[in-house]
Chains A and B, each alone.
Chain A
């Protein structure tokens, strides 16, 4: 079997060859292998120059100052540092946090940990289209609310939250605003001179950079303080100790520099492919788009093929690399919590496939995907007792099932 067609760019992206090539110069004896914290020789100085250039390149994509960028091991660590760091630092001001049920686990689990430490967290329900109603955030705000954490783009359904409006609201109430932007960097414009976002998490590997590196943006004006979660040599102005990995930093910097130069053209091409994919499925019965189609990043399409179970569908389309919201794949029987949170019923949540398109996706890939999906969904529906019942006009939700 040849390699499956990769349509899972929201999970991770391949490192761009230009990025990989640059990274290789920061590892070996004949390259620049120094410790950027070494102050006493050229090896250290050169490594520092490279890391600072990369920091500037990352900052440039989000229109921030390089001094506002803190290197981390990835977006998960950045989320932890932002939420725990701000909650701990400002705990005297209050202990209430607001987030949403559709956030990434890196945010949700961090909030759970803070609850164990005595903080109170409000988990907002999204609307059916996946978007968070600004008035719901406002209604949840209290005098002791210190932090709001809302992601920019959802990893499963690709919907874009109105972080501009949420930022204005938070600033007017003097509440810190954290945004997980792992899925939006390089996909949509992020202008931190304009947006009133205080803390913002980014990852390199969603933007054709290497895994194992990300950053937390920490605003300087007005200055946001966070308590370090990793202690040691006082790197990153005391916010995150640990020797920097110059090859990783340079990789992220180069990836973000390429994204800044090419994202406008690239996203236009990707949107055309996404539209082609959706159009290809037109006319299929019982097909549902999960999440708002307008307020959405160009590369994501999350569809539910009703009455077909996600894992068996993945098996049938194993010449594609996609992901399913059916958590049977992850050994628990719970379907995607994101799809459940937007009110999808169990059948639809179990029947979902996330297609995410990227830099190396072609029209041929999309056309093949359409043909394969149509054929396999039809085959599995012929096997499905639920499809029979649907065709017989039986309302599946009216049946008493014996859940096991």
Chain B
């Protein structure tokens, strides 16, 4: 399968790889996917007092498109409010990375990962 240049770029030089302390109060963690399906994404966001995402980190087990999708969303969510980040759609990700139809599920997973991280953060605050 041929990958787009953007997928290759994120795959070769993934942005924001890393781990945050999931017990820290300002950190939200989203882990989605399953080993059985061949992809697991862990996306973490650090939210400041104004409700703005100041940092994001990821680790992904999965194909190149899954790695690229999660790398891309860590770039996108930084500097956004939780509400803005929650509006990122899988179609935006798929379009940006020119994912072929068989890889659309990777972008869906990345969207799910953001939503899961936001939910985790909000649950911690309440």
Q: Give A residues with C-beta under 8 Å from B.
A: 307-312, 315, 326, 328-329, 331, 333, 335, 345-347, 350, 382-388, 396, 401-404
Contact = CB atoms under 8 A, between A and B. Distances in A.
* Size category, B interface: 20 to 34
Contacts of B39: 309
B33 interface: yes
A326 B62 CA distance: 10
B67 A312 contact: yes
Interface stretch (B11-19, B78-86, B90-98): B11-19
Interface of B: 1, 3, 11, 14, 17, 19, 31-42, 59-64, 66-67, 102, 105, 108-109, 112
B37 A307 contact: no
B33 A328 contact: no
Given A312-B67, A404-B105, A333 B38 contact: yes
For chain B, what secondary structure do more than half of its interface residues adopt (helix, strand, loop), or is it mixed?
Answer: mixed
B3 A315 contact: yes
A388 B42 CA distance: 11
Contacts of A335: 38
Given A383-B17, A383-B59, A396 B35 contact: yes
Given A403-B36, A404-B105, A315 B42 contact: no
B38 A328 contact: yes
B34 A315 contact: no
Nearest to B42: A385
Contacts, number: 84
Nearest to A347: B35
Contacts of A382: 17
A331 B106 CA distance: 12
Nearest to B105: A404
Given A312-B67, A315-B3, A404-B105, A386 B61 contact: yes
Given A312-B64, A315-B3, A386 B35 contact: yes
A312 B39 CA distance: 10
Nearest to A397: B35
A401 B60 contact: no
A402 B35 CA distance: 10
Contacts of B66: 309, 312
B37 A333 contact: yes
Contacts of A331: 102
A391 to B, nearest CB: 11
B39 to A, nearest CB: 7
Most buried by B among A310, A329, A383, A403: A383
A347 B35 CA distance: 6
B1 A329 contact: yes
Contacts of A311: 38, 62-64
B60 A384 contact: yes
A312 B37 contact: no
Contacts of B11: 312, 315
A402 B67 contact: no
A315 B8 CA distance: 9
B106 to A, nearest CB: 10
Given A388-B19, A402-B32, A309 B37 contact: no
A335 B105 CA distance: 16
